[in-house]
Amino acid sequence: MTTDAALVDLAALGDDFTRDPFPVYAALRARGPVHHVRMPEGHTAWLVVGYEAGRAALADPALSKDWRNIAPDLGIFRISSGVSMLSTDPPVHTRLRRLIAREFTMRRVERLAPQVQRITDDLLDAMLPLGAADLVDAFSFPLPITVIGELLGVPFLARDSFRDWSNTALSSNEQAEREEAANRLTQYLVELLAQKREQPGDDLMSGLIHAADTGDDDRLTPEELIGMAWLLLVAGHETTVNLITSGVLALLTHPDQLALLRARPELIDDAVEEMLRWDGPVETPTYRFTTGPYRVGGTTVPGGGQVVLVAMADANRDPDRFPDPGRFDITRDARGHLAFGHGIHFCLGAPLARLEARVAVRSLLERCPDLALDAHPAALSWRGGMLIRGPERLPVRW
């Protein structure tokens, strides 16, 4: 294969690809590790498939995360505002990550377990008398947004508007809609930071604002502060919402595994890892850009700011890494999956996402012994785009 390989039009596959991209990825993987594709959003990119090629690309410093390196003629709108860890390379990335890494260590996150359990119990107390609900509305969304809101010290978050803007900015295939939602979200975050500056507390957001307002070595520029707010609030809840939703869907559509987890609740950690491998919340990570010709297998991707996407969803279904990958098995050793990425951009919030999913799924199953899907799986609508993956709604009954 060479750089003039035919363009694979994923956009033409429509809802079928959005609902179930795995057969398409597997077919591409059988042909080679990288393909020039048209994304559902309409733009072109180079898609890396397979576990080894994907893992290598995620950790390769030759691929930049800095949007200043994108080819202008691609016409791609940048969703997030400001400067964050997801849009920088070392040494800027190193400095920004160091600023908040201490908040997300395994030990510090585990201290949040009682708080996560309390929020989970409150949501279930409100949901259970209903007998049926959309799990996303009633549980999967409010849990992580409440947790991250309390962690950051912004309990006054306008959740409904925030959710709508975030979903549209990350998942709409219409660029005009994405731009409008992203601009509204940015303006809201600017106002939120101003409000928080007037009401500081002993929380992460206050600490970041202080770092922006003082002249110490860890000073944040205004662009870095808004970028951090984008990253922590948007990425801080989106991934966990879809991890919980898709994980519960996987259990409800695999009754043998659901029964096994009910019988052996000590398997919850393994079950969460298999949920991440089977259908993780991030289909492809945020963009990487070529700074020179980039070789993948027998193909050279042109330099000059071409977009490179890693199909993490496909890497986690690669039979060369995970035997019988199309089988959902909570007893599988799913360690090594790429659901949280790999390398220096590995998801900083992974310990928190795992904790929330563990508490949420365990508590839901304990308190809903007859939990069942209240819609045919084929009737579910899925998030658009190739970034965030998960059902838009999940009707359940008990």
Whether residue 132 is contained in a domain is answered as yes
Q: What is the pTM of this model?
A: 0.92
Nearest CA to 313 out of 85, 40, 65, 23 is that of 23
Instruction: Give the percent of the chain with pLDDT over 90.
Output: 68
Whether residue 172 is contained in a domain is answered as yes
Whether residue 49 is contained in a domain is answered as yes
- Checking if the pLDDT of 3 tops 80, the result is no
CATH number (domain holding residue 296): 1.10.630.10
- 360 versus 105: the higher-pLDDT residue is 360
CA distances from 202 to 227, 238, 315 (A): 21, 25, 40
pLDDT of 231 reads 87
Is 202 exposed, middle or buried (CB count within 10 Å of its CB: 0-12, 13-18, 19+)?
exposed
How confident is residue 162, by pLDDT bands cut at 50, 70 and 90? confident
pLDDT of 117 reads 98
What is the helix (H) or strand (E) element at residue 219, kind and residue range? Answer: none
pLDDT of 161 reads 83
Instruction: Give the Cα separation of 252 and 295 in Å (integer).
Output: 42
What rounded mean pLDDT belongs to the chain? 92
The predicted model gives 130-159 an average pLDDT of 89
How confident is residue 285, by pLDDT bands cut at 50, 70 and 90? very high
Query: Domain span at residue 217?
Result: 8-397
The predicted model gives 40-51 an average pLDDT of 95
pLDDT of 284 reads 97
pLDDT of 154 reads 78
pLDDT in tens, 252-276: 999 999 999 999 999 999 999 999 9
Instruction: Give the Cα separation of 88 and 313 in Å (integer).
Output: 24
The predicted model gives 126-139 an average pLDDT of 97
Whether residue 3 is contained in a domain is answered as no
Q: How many structural domains are present in the chain?
A: 1
Instruction: Give the Cα separation of 60 and 63 in Å (integer).
Output: 6
pLDDT in tens, 324-361: 999 999 999 999 999 999 999 999 999 999 999 999 99
Instruction: Give the Cα separation of 388 and 281 in Å (integer).
Output: 6
The predicted model gives 103-123 an average pLDDT of 91
Whether residue 354 is contained in a domain is answered as yes
Tokens at residue 144, please?
């992580």
Instruction: Give the Cα separation of 144 and 130 in Å (integer).
Output: 21
- Checking if the pLDDT of 155 tops 80, the result is no
Whether residue 378 is contained in a domain is answered as yes
- 199 versus 65: the higher-pLDDT residue is 65
At residue 229's C-alpha, the angle toward residues 228 and 233, to 5°, is: 115
Whether residue 2 is contained in a domain is answered as no
Identify the residue whose tokens are 């957001």.
205
Tokens at residue 221, please?
């520029």
Whether residue 341 is contained in a domain is answered as yes
For the chain, where are the E strands, in sequence order? 8-9, 34-38, 44-48, 63-64, 132-134, 288-290, 294-296, 299-301, 307-310, 372-373, 395-397
